[in-house]
Amino acid sequence: MAEYVVGVDIGGTTVKLGLFTVSGELLDKWEITTRKDEGGKYILGDVAESVLDKLTDKNIDKKDVAGVGMGVPGPVKEDGTVLKCANLGWGVFNVEDELEKLVGLPVKAGNDANMAALGEMWQGGGKGYSNQVMVTLGTGVGGGIILNGKMLSGVNGAGGEIGHMQINDDETEVCGCGKTGCLEQYTSATGIVRAANKVLDSSDKPSKLRSLQYVSAKEIFDAAKEGDELASDLVEEHGRCLGKALAQIACVVDPEIFVIGGGVSRAGQVLIDTTSKYFQKYAFHACRGTKFALATLGNDAGIYGAANAILGK
Amino acid sequence: MAEYVVGVDIGGTTVKLGLFTVSGELLDKWEITTRKDEGGKYILGDVAESVLDKLTDKNIDKKDVAGVGMGVPGPVKEDGTVLKCANLGWGVFNVEDELEKLVGLPVKAGNDANMAALGEMWQGGGKGYSNQVMVTLGTGVGGGIILNGKMLSGVNGAGGEIGHMQINDDETEVCGCGKTGCLEQYTSATGIVRAANKVLDSSDKPSKLRSLQYVSAKEIFDAAKEGDELASDLVEEHGRCLGKALAQIACVVDPEIFVIGGGVSRAGQVLIDTTSKYFQKYAFHACRGTKFALATLGNDAGIYGAANAILGK
């Protein structure tokens, strides 16, 4: 019975790594630079070397390690095939097979948003719930769906790509994905700032946001908490869009809990309150009791989840 | 190794039953009346008796029967607990335990729409695809989601309740579920007829539908096929609503195929064509290759699926 497990979270600039006990205690975490030269061909070798060095340092025998879980910033199929990671320069190949050869341990790969969801399920805001949807509100909007303790990758690696659910027919600006009216355009950090700038430009309504050179999501939520009416309207509309989309998602997978993370989630309880208010309005009656929680692992969710994924492989 | 399996589909007026080989051949099918007296307390006893009689008739030993699968018209939890079947008079109880006691065979229960989806996966329009979403367009809109060959029941038995995804903020008429703007209000047989009556009342546009005393979904699709402009617009809008909702669903569970059944699906290829056209428009790029097919088992999908469910229990 293995005692240890390694979690890896590959990002566009750094690779985060964590050494865990199989029961979920983080023993050590560290980072290496993501070498994107030559189509990212050195990344997996660097990861393998760093993992093996750490095991040597800690005097841990490979046979005591359950394996290496790895989150990557792009779609990953059930069998470990990456379908393109533009950020890393990767094309289509099986990252599990590749890293297994290099590290000599079992490997489980998955999309980073799905891994973060697994992490929050294992040791974070969704602990104790094996059916959950995690929503990451950052520059974009990511999602991770966990059913019976396992992540839903989807046939095209697009399971949980909820940021690109189309929620507005009238949008004219184009989303990063090429469509218009995606959830991400309204509920990401970028999205709420876009909405703020629009209303600040098109109305004369007084607001403390007007005194700022650049408006951020944090400042919008802070101003709303202090009673700023224009900011409160923005927070309300943000909650309406997110609550409505989550109600649609509940009609599909009917989870126990929604866990909300990413930079925007630092707004705290107000985000949960507005989102769940509109969720109640739009949800099918059987799902109205679905719980809401904030993510708690922050940037470590990815390594926790990757470690958990290999345990469930 | 068992050779036979029984599938049961409990409806509001009749119970359909089927005797299958474990490889999916339907050997015999029959029906009994659904006795709804006294809160539906006789239904499961009648089912058990009918199943046991059939096995006796056919000289089949119980040890050669894998079990009884059963679809019921309401939400069913993973453990076999029915959360209320208004149609049958049932409250909350575990139908699997109950029928197992009566019939002396393993029982697997599930929502009837989910069972129909399993049936289409096993021997129908979705044969060969273990990740699929089935959409049933009848009086209402039901959904059944199959992931890795198993149905997704959902924590509240509401997995695949896609008819109640809210897709229109401007609706004023109330859906049967109590909300407004549900997918069912636009894409069910009832929904497209409602839309037809509205446009016939509010415009002077010529249409052969005007000569009919009562308009049905079939007549709308038939008129559209013959080039009737008003009917074509209705079919187009139906496809837009359905295609958009299926694109949202693809962002959540990312299936291999959508299988469309129910009365409206008798319209045939035109329904697939319009729906997939709008699906392409609204879908996330990674999911645009998702396949579409018509259901092929008609009213037998439920017994096929119930039989399949017990094999996968």
Quick check: helix, strand or coil at residue B188? coil
Q: Which CATH number fits domain A4-122+300-311: 1.20.120.1200, 3.30.420.40, 3.40.50.720, 2.60.40.1180?
A: 3.30.420.40
Q: Which residues of B touch A251 (CB under 8 A)?
A: 158, 160-165
CA A53 → CA A14, A105, B65, distances in Å? 18, 14, 56
- Cβ pair A306, A17 in contact under 8 A: no
> Tokens 């629009």 appear where?
A198
Domain ranges of chain B: 4-122+300-311, 128-296
Superfamily (CATH H level) for B128-296:
ATPase, nucleotide binding domain (3.30.420.40)
**Measured distance CA(A62)–CA(B170) in Å, rounded:** 60
Chain A CB contacts of B159 below 8 Å:
252-254
- Top residue of B145, B148, B156, B171 to mutate, by most chain A CBs within 10 Å, is B156
* Mutation target vs B (from A147, A155, A165; most B CBs, 10 A cutoff): A155
ipTM at complex level:
0.90
Residues in chain B closer than 8 A to A161 (CB atoms): 251, 254, 284, 286-287
Taking only the tens of pLDDT, chain A with its 313 residues reads: 799 999 999 998 999 999 999 999 999 999 999 999 999 999 999 999 999 999 999 999 999 999 999 999 888 888 899 987 877 889 899 999 999 999 999 999 998 889 999 999 999 999 999 999 999 999 889 999 999 998 898 998 889 999 999 999 999 999 988 999 999 999 999 999 999 999 999 999 999 999 999 999 999 999 999 999 999 999 999 999 999 999 999 999 999 999 999 999 999 999 999 999 999 999 999 999 999 999 999 999 999 999 999 987 6
Contact A145 B253 (CB under 8 A): yes
**B147 closest CA partner among A155, A109, A312:** A155
- For residue B122, the one-letter residue type is W
Are A309 and A115 in contact by the 8 Å Cβ rule? The answer is yes
- Nearest residue, CB atoms, A162 vs list B83, B252, B282: B252
- For B124, the 3-state DSSP assignment is coil
Chain B nearest CA to A148, separation (Å): 10
pTM of structure: 0.91
Residue B227 contacts by C-beta under 8 Å, 6 or more apart in sequence? none
Of A166, A282, A286, the CB nearest to B248: A166
Structure tokens at B84: 């209320």
Q: Do A145 and B252 touch (CB under 8 A)?
A: yes
**Phi, psi at B152, each rounded to 5°:** -95, 105
B-chain residues within 8 Å CB-CB of A282? 166, 179
Q: Distance (Å, rounded) from C-alpha A148 to C-alpha B212? A: 51
Do strands A141-147 and A132-137 pair parallel, antiparallel, or not at all (unpaired)? antiparallel
**Distance (Å, whole) CA A261 – CA A295:** 5
Picking from B248, B281, B285 by the largest number of A CB atoms within 10 A of its own CB, the best residue to mutate is B248
User: CA–CA separation, B210 vs B189, rounded Å?
Assistant: 18
Calculated CA dihedral for residues A94, A98, A101, A102, nearest 10 degrees: -160
Chain A environment of B162 (Cβ under 8 Å):
251-252
